[in-house]
Amino acid sequence: MIRTLFLSIVLFFALIISSFGIGNSIQRFKKEDRYIAVKGFAEREVKADLALWLIKTRIATNDLASGLQQIDSNKAKILDFLGSHGLNGDEVVVHNTNVTDKMARDYLTENTPLRYILENAVQVRTDKVDTLLFVSRQTDKLLQAGVLISASHDYNPAVKFMYSGLNDIKPAMLSEATQNARTAALEFAKESGVSLGKLRKANQGLFSIVDRDYSIMAPNAGAYSPSTNDIFKNVRVVVNVEYSVE
């Protein structure tokens, strides 16, 4: 009987101590669970350091030999045109000529006009972005020389300008975005009547590179990339940060 009473008393005090510990844990959890989640933003304007230009020509003819000669003549005129502006050597690559024979298609007949389609392309890749921008606007000179350039499309423009120096500016931009987030958190804490505590969590968002005037020129984005048409770019990054509050 005495032993049973002793065990009951021990169990009673154990439950009291346990409840006290759980209560403290809950209070500590609630205190630590108070935090502010904010976003930090950084943006920079940069200039493209790489330019690409795919110059396509297309000939339709019934005389394959004549068509090949015309394609070769077009290639020579394009290379001369580029060379006159200092674009040559490793900066220029001439692609193989592609020939399509319409008569090889089962559903076409001998009455098909212009049996052969010949296509060729000259690829320019250079860090002379200003030069390529200027030259790409002088294509009327090629037209005057009898070279008809195939039209490009918005989703795959013939001239592309890109920026390859992202890794050089990443650290500074992340620091700027994080500081921007802290400034926002401090302002929010002040308005809420609490003190900003330690950094709990920080997640880096994706960097984006878009044409500087893309939001102005194309507010309703289509399927094509808005990042290669303009020589000037906007680099953006957003970070998600959480601070504890006291």
Assessment of whether the complete model's pTM goes beyond 0.75:
no
| Residue 132 CB coordination number (10 Å) | 26
Residue 222's pLDDT is 38
List, in sequence order, every beta strand (DSSP E) within the chain. Answer: 35-47, 50-61, 92-94, 98-101, 116-126, 159-162, 196-204, 208-211, 232-245
* DSSP designation for 148: P
CATH at residue 184: 3.30.110.170
Both 134 and 177 in one domain: the answer is no
* 153 half-sphere exposure, CB direction, 13 A CA radius: 6
Number of domains in the chain: 2
Binning pLDDT at 50, 70 and 90, where does residue 26 land? very low
For the residues 31-39, what does the mean pLDDT come to?
A: 78
In contact, 156 and 224? CB cutoff 8 Å: yes
162 pLDDT tier (thresholds 50, 70, 90): very high
**What is the CATH number for 118?**
3.30.70.2970
Task: Quote the mean pLDDT of the chain.
Answer: 82
Mean pLDDT of 20-33: 44
Look up residue 149 and give its amino acid. I
pLDDT at 197: 87
Are residues 72 and 110 part of one domain?
A: yes
Instruction: Please say if the pLDDT value at position 140 is more than 90.
Output: yes
Q: Which pair of tokens denotes residue 35?
A: 């935090």
Q: Are 134 and 87 in contact (CB under 8 A)?
A: no
Note down the domain range covering 218.
34-47+165-245
Q: Does 187 reside within a domain?
A: yes
Residue with tokens 């212009």: 114
Q: Does position 244 have pLDDT exceeding 50, yes or no?
A: yes
Q: Are residues 137 and 220 in the same domain?
A: no
Q: Residue 237: beta bridge partners?
A: 42
Residues 42 and 58 in one domain: no
Last residue of a domain, one of 100, 131, 162: 162
Res 119 pLDDT > 70:
yes
Distance CA 188, CA 211 (A): 33
The residue among 180, 154, 176 whose CA lies nearest residue 235 is 176
Cα(172)–Cα(42) distance, integer angstroms = 9
At 22 the pLDDT is 38
Residue 107: φ, ψ to 5°: -90, 0
The span from the CA of 175 to the CA of 168, in Å, is 13
Whether 2 is in a domain gets the answer no
Same domain, 84 and 156: yes
| % of the chain residues with pLDDT over 90 | 57
Q: Say whether pLDDT at 209 is over 50.
A: yes
Span 88-96, average pLDDT: 95
**Tokens 């296509």 found at:** 119
Q: Are residues 170 and 88 in the same domain?
A: no
Least confident of 4-18, 33-47, 70-84: 4-18
Residue 221, number of CB atoms within 10 A of its CB: 11
Residues 43 and 145 in one domain: no
Instruction: Give the other-Cβ count within 10 Å of 110's Cβ.
Output: 6
The answer to whether position 1 is within a domain reads: no
